[in-house]
């Protein structure tokens, strides 16, 4: 779950891309990058760090042009070295830069084909670099000096045949425009917005609508599963569904945790979905313990606040702010290692003791993944003198790895894997644990207006919509990306990154 953005405008886009990436920062904190284009040349800046650290005034001055793309990264493949920050670039054909949100499930096979059949070189272990080279190859073999939208869509038809997994993408082609596309299941989000200046349209494509609204664009629509959108440099919009088989199966975890509440994804308000999650949770509490003794509902900031608010209302129990969030510390779950995640919880959340003392508290979180947050928070609640500590999760137990762009690669790192609900409660130290039922989560999220959508719920039910992940895939993923392995790889890859930096 990275954040991506692309803009075609009537004036320089660097500041707008910077602003949009800042709005999308919650989707990736490890690296950021931007490419703009002017007079047939690309201008690139990318590095590890958050948006405000990566783009200084000296970089912004060089990022000229009325068209550009940007990325904030949360790695799910390869390493977190700066050499794998995005956008990626290839000079042939035309010059293409690409930014990707998601995770491919046939990266290895594609990388081997690129090397053996397409004679293309990959310089990193990133799946996004593979995707860029597949797109480049399919455009190259058309052998067209002048590209038309039809050529682009025909190349995209081939890309959809070869690439599997989750991918929401923005790609910029020198001298032509921006090509944006979403995988055939629409797993990761992507939407288009429009605005007019001086009677001429300007377009933005972005992972979430909050980025459009922040930039003064009006949400036009979501990109459909398997659809490619082409925005030409002179701001004409072309679109076509290019994948042969498509299904609407967006990731439900966007609504649970990943997305911002002010976004509307696939016609669904993330905020409203979270309110409904809170109501269903309250119903479950009342079903399980009609005579409950909860004195106060306390959210674990930030994401759970919306659900907690509605849950408290429905229970008829007061909601209180029991934790103050340090606004200078980012999201813990998307931090790169377990040590830093553990350390960050206490740095990020500090308790207001009087809300806990001698009370039976119901803590609410949006999800419990590794249990890093809940375990420490429950300990803090007890240190503050809570009589009993209950916890409710707006999502069901997470028992399966994610292979579509969320870094949950190793089942043994998931607190819900191989444990009953009671065992999870014991592990995190709760007196009572209430998980949302999957049916209720789906009902909370699927609005009445979106009957065609079924969600990817793989982390809860182990059903992977692309149908191509098996035990062997999981074994490889876990070996490559468990916390220990990531640490080893980073050491090696940093050397490569440093070397590349010296060369550039
Ligand atoms: O069980 P865990 O492995 O700890 O993961 C789950 C927690 O991580 C996330 O919070 P995060 O701090 O990332 O972001 P937030 O401030 O948006 O809630 C999520 O909201 C849960 O609180
Ligand atoms: N979270 C994501 O969307 C990651 C994109 C890509 N797989 C990477 O690791 O850079
Ligand atoms: Mg949280």
Nearest to 34 by CA among 3, 10, 11: 3
Q: State residue 449's pLDDT score.
A: 63
Residue 283 marked as a ligand binder: no
Q: What is the dihedral of CA 89, 465, 265, 217, to 10 degrees?
A: 20
CA–CA gap between residue 464 and residue 470 (Å, rounded): 9
365 labelled as ligand-binding? yes
pLDDT score for 344: 80
Q: What percent of the chain has pLDDT over 70?
A: 95
Give the distance (Å) from ligand 2 centre to CA of residue 196.
32
Given a cut of 60, is residue 393 above it in pLDDT?
A: yes
Atom of ligand 1 nearest to the CA of 344: 12
Q: Is 395 in the pocket of ligand 1 (CB under 6 A)?
A: no
Per-residue pLDDT tens over the stretch 93-128: 999 999 999 999 999 999 999 999 999 999 999 999
Atom nearest to 102 CA in ligand 2: 3
Whether 30 and 73 have beta carbons less than 8 Å apart is answered as: yes
Confidence class for position 457, pLDDT limits 50, 70, 90: very high
Residues with CB under 6 A from ligand 2: 1-2, 73-78, 100-103, 126-128, 405
Contact 418, 255 (CB under 8 A): no
State the ligand closest to the CA atom of 27.
2
Percent of the chain with pLDDT over 90: 84
> Which of 385-399, 461-475, 484-498 has maximum average pLDDT?
385-399
Position 493 pLDDT exceeds 60? no
Ligand 1 atom at shortest distance from the alpha carbon of 373 = 4
Query: What's the mean pLDDT in 386-395?
Result: 98
**pLDDT for residue 451:** 64
Instruction: Please work out whether the CB of residue 331 comes within 6 Å of at least one atom of ligand 1.
Output: yes
Ligand closest in space to the Cα of 72: 2
Burial code (b: 16+ CB inside 10 Å, e: under 16) for 14-37 equals bebbbbbbbbbbbbbbbbbbbbbb
State the distance from the centre of ligand 2 to the C-alpha of 80, rounded, in angstroms.
10
- Give the model's pLDDT for residue 342: 81
What ipTM, to 2 d.p.? 0.98
pLDDT of amino acid 336: 80
- Given the CA of residue 334, which atom of ligand 1 is nearest to it? 13
Model pLDDT, residue 337: 80
From atom 10 of ligand 2, which residue's Cα is the shortest distance away?
Answer: 75
pLDDT at 408 over 90: no
Higher pLDDT, 403 or 452: 403
Mean pLDDT over 77-99 rounds to 94
- Ligand nearest to C-alpha 369: 1
Q: Convert the pLDDT of each residue in 7-41 to its tens digit.
A: 999 999 999 999 999 999 999 999 999 999 999 99
Instruction: Write the DSSP symbol of residue 456.
Output: B
Q: Number of helices and strands (H, E) in the chain? A: 17, 22
Contact 423, 417 (CB under 8 A): no
Query: What average pLDDT does the chain have?
Result: 93
- Helices 127-140, 107-116: axis angle to 10 degrees equals 40
Residue 494, class by beta-carbon neighbours within 10 Å (0-12 exposed, 13-18 middle, 19+ buried)?
A: middle
For the stretch 183-208, pLDDT in tens is 999 999 999 999 999 899 999 999 99
In the predicted model, is pLDDT for residue 423 greater than 80? yes
Measure 74 CA to ligand 2 centroid, in angstroms: 6
For ligand 1, whether the C-beta of 373 sits within 6 Å is: yes
| Residue 300 beta carbon below 6 angstroms from any ligand 1 atom | yes
Instruction: Check pLDDT > 80 for residue 131.
Output: yes
| 56 Cβ neighbours under 8 A, 6+ residues apart | none
Q: DSSP 3-state assignment of 26?
A: helix
Decide: residue 64, CB within 10 A, 0-12 exposed, 13-18 middle, 19+ buried. middle
Atom of ligand 2 nearest to the CA of 84: 10
The residue to mutate among 257, 399, 416, having the most atoms of ligand 1 within 8 angstroms of its beta carbon, is 257
The strand pair at 296-299 and 318-319 is best described as parallel
Q: What is the mean pLDDT of residues 343-364?
A: 94
Question: Residue 2 catalytic?
Answer: yes
- Of 332, 379, 399, 406, the one to substitute when testing ligand 1's pocket (max ligand atoms within 8 A of C-beta) is 332
Q: Confidence band (pLDDT; 50, 70, 90) for 275?
A: very high
Choosing from 2, 191, 251, 384, the catalytic residue is 2
Q: What is the pLDDT of residue 180?
A: 98
Token pair listed for 332 = 């813990």
The mean pLDDT of 284-288, rounded to a whole number, is 98
Q: How far is the CA of 31 from the centre of ligand 3 (A)?
A: 21
**73 versus 449: which is more confidently predicted?**
73
Q: Write down the pLDDT at residue 482.
A: 80
Is 303 a known ligand-binding residue?
A: yes
Expressed in angstroms and rounded, the spacing between residue 302 Cα and the centre of ligand 1 is: 8
3-state SS assignment for residue 309: helix
Task: Point out the ligand 1 atom lying closest to the alpha carbon of residue 348.
Answer: 12
Q: Which of 40, 8, 12 is nearest to 174 (CA)?
A: 40
Report the pLDDT value the prediction gives residue 93, as an integer from 0 to 100.
Answer: 97
Whose Cα sits closest to atom 1 in ligand 2?
1
Query: What is the predicted pLDDT for the residue at 332?
Result: 85
299 lines ligand 1 (CB under 6 A): no
For the stretch 293-352, pLDDT in tens is 999 999 999 999 999 999 999 999 999 999 999 999 888 888 888 888 888 888 899 999
Q: Please tell me the distance between residue 173's alpha carbon and the centre of ligand 3 in angstroms.
A: 38
Q: pLDDT at position 501, please?
A: 43
Alpha carbon of 355 to ligand 1 centroid (Å): 21
| Residues around the ion ligand 3 (C-beta < 5 A) | 303
Phi-psi region of 269 (alpha: psi -120 to 50; beta: other; left: phi over 0): beta
DSSP string across 203-221: EEEESSHHHHHHTTPEEEE
Ligand 1 within 6 A of CB of 370: yes
Token code pair at residue 487: 């640490």
**Residue closest by Cα to atom 8 of ligand 1:** 333
Residue 339's pLDDT is 81
For residue 87, report the distance from its CA to the centre of ligand 3, in Å: 28
* Predicted pLDDT at 349: 93
User: 330 and 320 in contact (C-beta within 8 Å)?
Assistant: no
């Amino acid at each position: 779950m990275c954040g991506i953005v692309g803009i075609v405008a009537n004036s320089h886009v660097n500041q707008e891309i910077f602003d949009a990436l800042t709005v999308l920062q919650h989707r990736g904190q490890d690296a950021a990058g931007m490419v703009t284009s002017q007079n047939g040349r690309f201008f690139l800046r990318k590095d590890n760090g958050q948006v405000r650290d990566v783009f200084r005034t000296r970089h912004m001055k060089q990022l000229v042009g009325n068209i550009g793309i940007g990325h904030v990264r949360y790695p799910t493949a390869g390493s977190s070295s700066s050499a794998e920050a995005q956008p990626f670039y290839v000079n042939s054909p035309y010059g293409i830069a690409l930014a990707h949100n998601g995770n491919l499930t046939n990266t290895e096979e594609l990388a081997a084909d690129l090397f053996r059949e397409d004679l293309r070189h990959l310089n990193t272990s990133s799946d996004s670099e593979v995707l860029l080279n597949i797109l480049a190859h399919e455009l190259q073999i058309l052998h067209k000096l002048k590209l038309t939208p039809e050529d682009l869509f025909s190349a995209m038809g081939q890309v959809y045949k070869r690439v599997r997994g989750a991918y929401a993408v923005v790609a910029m082609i020198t001298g032509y425009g921006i090509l944006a596309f979403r995988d055939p299941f629409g797993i990761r989000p992507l939407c288009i917005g429009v605005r007019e200046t001086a009677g001429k349209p300007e377009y933005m494509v972005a992972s979430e609508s909050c980025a459009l609204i922040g930039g003064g664009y009006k949400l036009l629509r979501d990109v459909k599963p398997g659809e490619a959108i082409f925005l030409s440099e002179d701001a004409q919009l072309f679109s076509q569904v290019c994948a042969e088989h498509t299904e609407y199966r967006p990731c439900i975890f966007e609504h649970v945790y990943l997305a911002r509440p002010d976004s509307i994804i696939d016609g669904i308000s993330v905020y409203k979905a979270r309110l409904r999650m809170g109501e269903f949770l309250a119903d479950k509490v009342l079903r399980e313990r009609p005579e409950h003794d909860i004195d106060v509902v306390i959210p674990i900031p930030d994401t759970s606040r919306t659900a907690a608010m509605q849950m408290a209302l429905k229970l008829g129990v007061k909601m209180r702010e029991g934790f103050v969030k340090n606004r200078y510390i980012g999201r813990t779950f998307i931090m790169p290692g377990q040590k830093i995640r553990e350390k960050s919880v206490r740095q990020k959340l500090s308790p207001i003791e009087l809300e806990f003392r001698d009370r039976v508290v119901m803590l609410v979180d949006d999800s419990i993944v590794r249990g890093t947050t809940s375990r420490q928070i429950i300990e803090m609640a007890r240190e503050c003198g809570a009589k009993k500590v209950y916890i409710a999760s707006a999502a069901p137990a997470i028992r399966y790895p994610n292979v579509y762009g969320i870094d949950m690669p190793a089942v043994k790192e998931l607190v819900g894997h191989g444990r009953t609900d009671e065992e999870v409660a014991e592990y995190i130290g709760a007196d009572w644990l209430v998980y949302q039922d999957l049916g209720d989560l789906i009902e909370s999220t699927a609005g009445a207006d979106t009957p065609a959508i079924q969600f990817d719920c793989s982390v809860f039910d182990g059903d992977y919509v692309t149908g191509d992940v098996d035990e062997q895939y999981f074994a490889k993923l876990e070996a490559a990306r468990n916390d220990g392995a990531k640490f080893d790889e980073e050491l090696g890859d940093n050397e490569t990154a440093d070397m590349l930096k010296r060369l550039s």
